[in-house]
Structure 1
Amino acid sequence: MYVGHLGVALAGKGWRREAPLWLLVLATQGCDWVQVVACMAAPGSSPMWSHSIAAVLALATVLLLGSYGVTRNRQVALLTAAVVVSHVLLDYVTGVKPTWPGGPMIGLNLYDHPIADFALETAVVCAGWLVYRRSLPLEVRGTRLAWLFVLALVGIQLLGAFDLAFLPRVPKCV
């Protein structure tokens, strides 16, 4: 999943207005950022271990403690950890990820069906945005800028669907 993860962060902000959106975006993208750092540190050495169950639980724990340290809010800390875990759960639908380093790969691999992937990710983004809108002041919720935000996310996802449908796949860590 690509842009759909941001839908989860947006929904989290809608559920807990006091949760910093930057923290939820960090939580929802954390597995991918860990993977990028791992690939830069040791190219070709890591087949998505950052998405293994153990790595996700470790990252969720680190961000739970870190978010509690920043916000002093137990609900925000728990939400942050849940958003981290949501990343790999959604990736099990759209891709194929390891259960543990060196363990079996699992997933439905919707990436092989770009139209279905686009539909799912768009639904997640739109649902998250609808929940997020509740955190906005009433006078902002229906503005063009609010609608442009969700349309931009869907547009970015459309580019991703085009990429999946027409461009050759390359390994994520070479």
Structure 2
Amino acid sequence: MFVGHFGVAAAVKAAEPRVPLWSLMLATQFLDVIFIGLYMAGGVESFRAVTSGTYGEALIDAGYTHSLLGALLLSALYGGVAAWRWGRKPGLVLGALVFSHWLLDLLVHRADLPLLPGNAGDLPLLGLGLWQTPWATAVIEGVLLAAGAVLYFRSVRRRATDTRRALVAGAVMSLLLVAGLAVDVLS
């Protein structure tokens, strides 16, 4: 799941037009941004190849960023900073959007998502494994991206004071949709 997260951000932007788009996009990828930092910081978190030639070819060891408790804490952190900057409602929206990443990852990941940071207690790992069915993953990501693009375009068109602005927004979202679907097909 990669571009599907951005589709969710576009849908949220349609409902919450005052929240900056960049903060929505970052929120959807915040867990992965922190994961990359921990990966680069000496392999605190890592990934390894499992089956070549399939979608989602890696099993992640993201025991902190992608644990249920870790995702909740990172969501609260992001939402708290956003609330301080833009107010309570945008903070709640952005915090929930960060957590949506974990929920979508639960759908696609193999069983590699721990409940507690560092898999404390050696509890069962979670993941429904949709990545093992590449066409289904691509369909779900495409639907999320298309739905987000349509909702965003309709929102811009409703709020636009001129047709030109609505057309530009529609063109940008159409390009994102095509690029996102191309990434899904090529990966």
Q: Does 1:61 align with 2:76?
A: yes
* Aligned 1:10-21 pairs, distance under 5 A: 10-21=10-21
The corresponding residue for 2:114 is 98
Offset, 1:134: 3.1
The corresponding residue for 1:83 is 97
The corresponding residue for 1:48 is 62
TM norm structure 2: 0.78
- Any gaps of 5 or more consecutive residues in structure 2? 47-60
Offset, 1:91: 0.5
The corresponding residue for 1:156 is 183
Deviations 1:49-93 (A, max 9, x none): 211111111111111111112212x22111101101110100011
Deviations 1:114-156 (A, max 9, x none): 1111001111111111121133236244554442232122212
Q: Distance in 1 between matches of 2:172 and 2:101?
A: 27
Structure 1 residues 61 and 146: CA distance shift in structure 2, 3 A: closer
**Rg comparison, structure with higher value:** 2
- Secondary structure of the equivalent of 2:152? helix
Q: Does 1:109 align with 2:129?
A: yes
Select the structure with the greater relative contact order (CA < 8 A; seq sep ≥ 6).
1
Offset, 1:26: 1.3
Offset, 1:44: 6.1
Structure 1 residues 24 and 145: CA distance shift in structure 2, 3 A: closer
- Secondary structure of the equivalent of 1:51? coil
Q: Distance in 1 between matches of 2:151 and 2:19?
A: 14
- Secondary structure of the equivalent of 1:105? coil
Q: Which letter does structure 2 place at the counterpart of 1:159?
A: L
Q: Distance in 2 between matches of 1:145 and 1:6?
A: 13
What's the Cα RMSD here?
Answer: 1.7
Deviations 1:20-42 (A, max 9, x none): 11111111100111110001102
Aligned residues of 2:35 and 2:45 also touching (Cα < 8 A) = no
Q: Distance in 2 between matches of 1:81 and 1:130?
A: 23
4+ residue runs of structure 1 moved beyond 3 angstroms? 140-146
Q: Which letter does structure 2 place at the counterpart of 1:53?
A: L
- Any gaps of 5 or more consecutive residues in structure 1? 161-174
Q: Which letter does structure 2 place at the counterpart of 1:82?
A: A
Same amino acid, percent of matched pairs:
31
Aligned residues: 159
Q: Distance in 1 between matches of 2:98 and 2:182?
A: 24
